[in-house]
């Protein structure tokens, strides 16, 4: 039998390795920015074209590389960060795998220009698909400039899986934020298609957060500081009233490296327990400094997951630090035992003397006498005569004995008991009768039995089809606001709003202007209350970032789903009989009435036979 195991060629091995390192243009941005940080750069420029598909260029003023190092950096497993296996457990740098540049060069056209500080000329290298095209002497500034062009040019299948330019740019922006937030002392510039998106100067951490996420973020931040032998915690948390339904402003940094940790996130949520609603998430920007030997970074290809030696202690320290910060800065209401009681004295009583309180008692009152005495004052109030009470009912006709005495009177009760069927026995068998159960379900009858409808999901389906029709047919009606509504957002959120502006306009939103950090709305759809416009826009931004939609149909679908979920009737809301009946009729008039827009069942049916079986 012939041998079947063979060594892969270098270019094939590099392409396989690139599958782990480079998933999309944002992966290239992450690797290049981290290399620039490791090169001790104080100023970094990121230039992107067509969502990173055409060009990704990172220019830094770091230490640079010699001609030999520049050529060797594109070889597999070549790195200056580690020399032995023991170094993996004491890492103070970011890029240490030695496969980043080799993997990038295997699937793109790469141009590098670099020069060290002590030399007069630098080196220029061109690589196409792992093949070195040229290497020559070049006049270039100190530092390194690395350009990645035509990503996945030799792997068309991978290139076809990339999303639209707007979506890929959003991922690149997220990676840029993570690196920029971790290094506030480094100057960053971000350009997209010739337009400057961010210009971040060297500053402190708080100002860096505000420069990235917008001016309105400054009022949200509450500082957190805690130092123990195990970990040093610093950074900021957002006030409870600014908690969002989406996870958009949650950042953990360990030794200036961005990480994801559901376990530590749970510690933050536990510290906010009782201050935010269950379905919302607090925002935070927390920086942990730990001993590099106490963590293991090399457990995930993207290095965004870290293993700690003692997670339980870290959980307790982090939870305690956040709780202490909330109390220290008066975010949480607290009892103040040192408060001066004199401050509670009204100004009108400042110079008045103390008076003995007096109680007026009717000494002639006798509880055993049917008719109390007419004279006297009881508890300081003058008695009123009851004569002439018959005149209060002059002109009213008596309807005693008629059947419709209380036909127009309705009673509401928070507790629904078995008496709900009383008074409806004659009409209960008639199709169209409805009642609300536990302020969550609507029960109605059909010819074969009864139907129990989830009111929230039913309203979601009705609104979803209505919004979807308005978007596609473009016949939405807008209600004009008396005063323009101004809302502040970060530059990233403004970019999402610009992407979905056309769809929002077809629904009924009217935008007066959209600037870098502010939008003005002069009209909203008829179904959207003015007080909920901000919440609706926030939810739209969150859903589009999570869904990562590219084509127009997906954007339309996500927009309709978000509006229906935000504006639908919620569980716990009381509906009158007319509203219940209208909702039932609108539901069964929909094209798809069985499931909600999120593929959850809307109603269940109970036939007469099913009910009979319960009494056997």
Does the CA dihedral 557-563-566-569 come out positive or negative? negative
pLDDT at site 375:
47
Asked if the model's pLDDT at residue 374 lies above 80, the reply is no
CATH number at residue 120: 3.30.565.10
| Domain-located, residue 195 | yes
- Judge whether 575 and 549 are in contact, CB under 8 Å: no
**Do 93 and 161 have their domain in common?**
yes
pLDDT band at 340 (very low <50, low <70, confident <90, very high): low
Outline where DSSP puts E strands in 61-142.
Answer: 109-115, 122-128, 131-138
384 token code pair = 């009123």
The residue that leads in pLDDT, 362 or 57, is 57
Query: What is the pLDDT averaged over residues 552-561?
Result: 71
d(CA 245, CA 243): 7
Query: What is the pLDDT averaged over residues 294-311?
Result: 74
**Do 111 and 149 have their domain in common?**
yes
Buried b (16+ CB within 10 A) or exposed e, 355-380: eeeeeeeeeeeeeeeeeeeeeeeeee
Q: Which of 171, 200, 229 is the last residue of a domain?
A: 200
The residue that leads in pLDDT, 373 or 501, is 501
Outline where DSSP puts E strands in 330-454.
Answer: 377-378, 381-382, 434-437, 441-446, 449-454
Q: Which of 150, 165, 200 is the last residue of a domain?
A: 200
**Do 167 and 290 have their domain in common?**
no
Query: What is the pLDDT averaged over residues 170-182?
Result: 92
The residue that leads in pLDDT, 544 or 407, is 544
pLDDT at site 489:
81
pLDDT at site 387:
55
577 token code pair = 């009989």
CATH number at residue 522: 3.30.1370.100
**Do 172 and 228 have their domain in common?**
no
**Do 156 and 194 have their domain in common?**
yes
CB atoms within 10 A of CB 82: 15
Q: How many domains does the chain contain in total?
A: 3
Asked if the model's pLDDT at residue 62 lies above 70, the reply is yes
| Domain-located, residue 322 | yes
216 token code pair = 């309105």
**Do 239 and 126 have their domain in common?**
no
| Domain-located, residue 38 | yes
- Judge whether 542 and 532 are in contact, CB under 8 Å: no
What's the distance, CA 208 to chain centroid? 20
pLDDT at site 426:
35
d(CA 145, CA 147): 7
| Domain-located, residue 462 | yes
Query: What is the pLDDT averaged over residues 7-34?
Result: 79
**Do 144 and 242 have their domain in common?**
no
pLDDT at site 414:
46
Instruction: At 343, give phi and psi (nearest 5°).
Output: -70, -20
Residue 571: how many CA atoms within 13 Å on its side-chain side? 6
pLDDT at site 177:
93
CA torsion 612-455-589-535 (nearest 10°) is -170
pLDDT at site 253:
93
pLDDT band at 376 (very low <50, low <70, confident <90, very high): very low
299 token code pair = 């457990």
**Do 480 and 523 have their domain in common?**
yes
Query: What is the pLDDT averaged over residues 199-203?
Result: 93
Q: Which of 269, 296, 328 is the last residue of a domain?
A: 328
| Domain-located, residue 304 | yes
Asked if the model's pLDDT at residue 343 lies above 70, the reply is no
| Domain-located, residue 362 | no
Asked if the model's pLDDT at residue 382 lies above 50, the reply is no
**Do 232 and 96 have their domain in common?**
no
Query: What is the pLDDT averaged over residues 503-510?
Result: 82
Angle at 279 between CA 182 and CA 236, to 5 degrees: 25
Q: Is 404 helix (H, G, I), strand (E, B) or coil?
A: coil
pLDDT at site 69:
87
CATH number at residue 307: 3.30.230.10
pLDDT at site 515:
83
Mean pLDDT of the chain, nearest integer: 79
| Domain-located, residue 342 | no
Asked if the model's pLDDT at residue 147 lies above 90, the reply is yes
pLDDT band at 124 (very low <50, low <70, confident <90, very high): very high
Instruction: At 263, give phi and psi (nearest 5°).
Output: -70, -45
Range(s) of the domain holding residue 227: 219-328
pLDDT band at 113 (very low <50, low <70, confident <90, very high): very high
| Domain-located, residue 491 | yes
**Do 300 and 424 have their domain in common?**
no
- Report pLDDT digits (tens) over 384-433: 555 555 555 555 555 444 444 544 555 444 444 443 334 333 333 335 67
**Do 111 and 251 have their domain in common?**
no
**Do 185 and 308 have their domain in common?**
no
């Amino acid at each position: 039998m012939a041998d079947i195991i063979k060594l892969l060629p270098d270019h094939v091995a590099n392409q396989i390795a690139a599958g782990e390192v480079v998933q999309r243009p944002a992966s290239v941005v992450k690797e290049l920015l981290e290399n620039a940080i490791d090169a001790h750069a104080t100023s970094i420029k990121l230039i992107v074209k067509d969502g990173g598909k055409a060009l990704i260029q990172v220019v830094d003023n770091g230490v640079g590389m010699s001609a030999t190092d520049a050529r060797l950096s594109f070889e597999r497993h070549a790195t200056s960060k580690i020399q032995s296996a023991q170094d993996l457990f004491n890492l103070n740098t970011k890029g240490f795998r030695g496969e980043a540049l080799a993997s990038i060069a295997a699937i793109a056209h790469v141009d590098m220009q670099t020069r060290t500080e002590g030399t007069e000329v630098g080196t220029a290298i061109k690589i196409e698909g792992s093949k070195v095209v040229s290497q020559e002497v070049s006049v270039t500034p100190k530092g390194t400039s690395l350009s990645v062009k035509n990503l996945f040019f030799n792997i068309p299948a991978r290139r076809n899986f990339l999303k639209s330019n707007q979506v890929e740019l959003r991922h690149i922006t997220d990676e840029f934020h993570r690196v920029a937030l971790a290094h506030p002392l480094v100057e960053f510039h971000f350009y997209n298609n010739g337009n400057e998106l961010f210009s971040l100067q060297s500053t402190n951490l708080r100002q860096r957060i505000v420069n990235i996420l917008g001016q309105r973020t400054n009022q949200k931040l509450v500082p957190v500081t805690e130092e123990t032998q195990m970990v040093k915690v610093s950074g900021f948390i957002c006030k409870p009233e600014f908690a969002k339904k989406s996870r958009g402003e949650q950042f953990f940094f360990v030794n200036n490296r961005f990480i994801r940790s559901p376990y530590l996130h749970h510690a933050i949520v536990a510290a906010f327990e009782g201050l935010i609603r269950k379905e919302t998430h607090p925002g935070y920007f927390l920086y942990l400094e730990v001993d590099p030997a106490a963590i293991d970074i090399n457990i995930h290809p993207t290095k965004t997951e870290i293993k700690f030696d003692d997670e339980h202690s870290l959980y307790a320290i982090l939870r305690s630090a956040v709780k202490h910060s909330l109390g220290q800065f008066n975010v949480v209401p607290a009892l103040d035992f040192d408060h001066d009681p004199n401050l509670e004295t009204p100004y009108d009583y400042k110079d008045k003397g103390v008076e003995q309180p007096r109680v007026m008692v009717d000494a002639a009152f006798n509880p055993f006498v049917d008719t109390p005495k007419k004279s006297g004052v009881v508890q300081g109030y003058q008695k009123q005569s009851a004569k002439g009470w018959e005149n209060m009912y002059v002109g009213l006709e008596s309807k005693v004995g008629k059947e419709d005495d209380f036909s127009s009177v309705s009673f509401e009760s928070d507790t629904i008991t078995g008496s709900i069927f009383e008074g409806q026995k004659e009409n209960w068998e008639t199709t169209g009768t409805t009642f609300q159960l536990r302020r969550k379900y609507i029960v109605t009858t059909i010819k074969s039995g009864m139907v129990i409808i989830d009111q929230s999901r039913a309203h979601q389906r009705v609104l979803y089809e209505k919004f979807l029709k308005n978007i596609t047919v473009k016949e939405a009606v807008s209600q004009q606001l008396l005063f323009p509504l101004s809302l502040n957002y970060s530059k990233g959120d403004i970019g999402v709003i610009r992407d979905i502006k056309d769809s929002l306009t077809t629904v009924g939103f009217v935008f007066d202007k959209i600037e870098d950090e502010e939008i003005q709305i002069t009209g909203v759809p008829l179904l959207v209350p003015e007080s909920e416009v901000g919440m609706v826009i926030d939810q739209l931004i969150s859903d589009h970032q999570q869904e990562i939609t590219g084509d127009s149909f997906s954007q339309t679908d996500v927009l309709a789903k978000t509006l229906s979920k935000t504006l639908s009737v919620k569980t716990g809301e009381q509906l009158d009989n007319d509203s219940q009946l209208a909702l039932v009729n609108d539901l069964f008039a929909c094209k798809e009435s069985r499931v909600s827009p999120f593929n959850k069942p809307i109603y269940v049916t109970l036939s007469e036979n099913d009910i009979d079986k319960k009494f056997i």
